[in-house]
Amino acid sequence: MNTKPSLELASLIEGYRRFRANGWNPRRERWAALREGQEPRVMVIACSDSRVDPAQIFDVDPGQIFVVRNVAAMVPPFETSPGHHGVSAALEFAVQVLRVREIVVMGHGMCGGCKAALTQELAGTEPGKGGFIADWIELLDGAREEVVHKHGTEGREAEKAMELAGVKVSLANLRTFPCVSELESRGKLTLRGAFFAISDGLLHVLDEESGEFSPVE
Ligand SMILES: [Zn+2]
């Protein structure tokens, strides 16, 4: 077996060593306390895209946010169909066990998942050849219609509209979970929509009343 690390792993290990030296070692007491358990107040649902790491964007430490990342930062609706409901499991854990106070759904600029939902370029492909993605981003089909009606299927304007609409879809789907809607109605849980693009580095937050995303001061 080849035990020599690849260039990629070697670069990760270099980063790990920097983390040990600068992030971990100086604050050992904090990390020792975390051994007993985690009490994050916020759950963040973000895209798997390499450009939008919530821990980096919000500059938080281990233990502060509970994160789910997937293609296009989607939350599926509450479904009891057979299958492995990964997002629903994480949501259940965050809400029922960790009792987070807030859930932030964060969409992002140049999202490939949202673009594929818009263009339907993967529609009809087999699982393993694009089919899993196509199936997943079907979650955006309802919102897509309005976007296409207004902006067509191509161009940055249409793509951004789809990215923003995706955040609203996930928020709506979150509210189909009885545990979420109940806690929200009792004021114990707050849902937020957000949007971030690495190109301008700006975080936008959704005002659900107006439906508009505005940059944070
Ligand atoms: Zn994305």
Q: pLDDT, tens digit, for every residue of 178-192?
A: 999 999 999 999 999
Residue type, 50: S
Judge whether residue 1 has pLDDT over 80.
no
Is pLDDT larger for residue 201 or for residue 2?
201
Task: State the pLDDT confidence band at 215, using cuts at 50, 70 and 90.
Answer: very high
Q: How far is the CA of 91 from the centre of ligand 1 (A)?
A: 19
Q: What pLDDT, on the 0 to 100 scale, is given for residue 144? A: 98
What CA–CA distance (Å, rounded) separates 97 from 104?
17
Residue 25 CA to ligand 1 centre (angstroms): 33
The model scores a pTM over 0.85? yes
Report how far ligand 1's centroid is from the alpha carbon of 92 (Å). Answer: 23
pLDDT > 80? residue 136: yes
Q: Are the CB atoms for 157 and 69 separated by under 8 Å?
A: no
In single-letter form, the type of residue at position 19 comes to F
Average pLDDT value for residue range 128-142: 98
Cα(112) to centroid(ligand 1), Å: 5
**What is the 167 CA–ligand 1 centroid distance (Å)?**
11
Q: How far is the CA of 200 from the centre of ligand 1 (A)?
A: 16
State the distance from the centre of ligand 1 to the C-alpha of 79, rounded, in angstroms: 23
CA–centroid distance, residue 54 to ligand 1 (Å) = 13
Q: Under 8 Å CB-to-CB from 216, ≥6 apart: which residues?
A: 202, 203, 204, 205
Q: How far is the CA of 155 from the centre of ligand 1 (A)?
A: 16
How far away, in angstroms, is 193 Cα from ligand 1 center?
15
Average pLDDT, the chain: 97
CA pair distance 170, 105, nearest whole angstrom: 7
Position 5 scores a pLDDT of: 81
Residue 2 has pLDDT above 70, yes or no: no
- Distance from the alpha carbon of residue 176 to the mean position of ligand 1, in angstroms: 23
CA of 102 to the centre of ligand 1 (A): 22
Q: What is the pLDDT of residues 150-160, one digit of tens each?
A: 999 999 999 99
Going from the Cα of 2 to the center of ligand 1, the distance in angstroms, rounded, reads 34
Q: What is the DSSP string of 20-57?
A: IIIIIGGGHHHHHHHTT----SEEEEEE--TT--HHHH
114 Cα to the center of ligand 1, angstroms: 7
Q: Is residue 135 pLDDT above 90, yes or no?
A: yes
Residues with Cβ within 8 Å of 5's Cβ and at least 6 positions away in sequence, in order, are 13
- pLDDT for residue 66: 98
- pLDDT at residue 3, as a whole number: 72
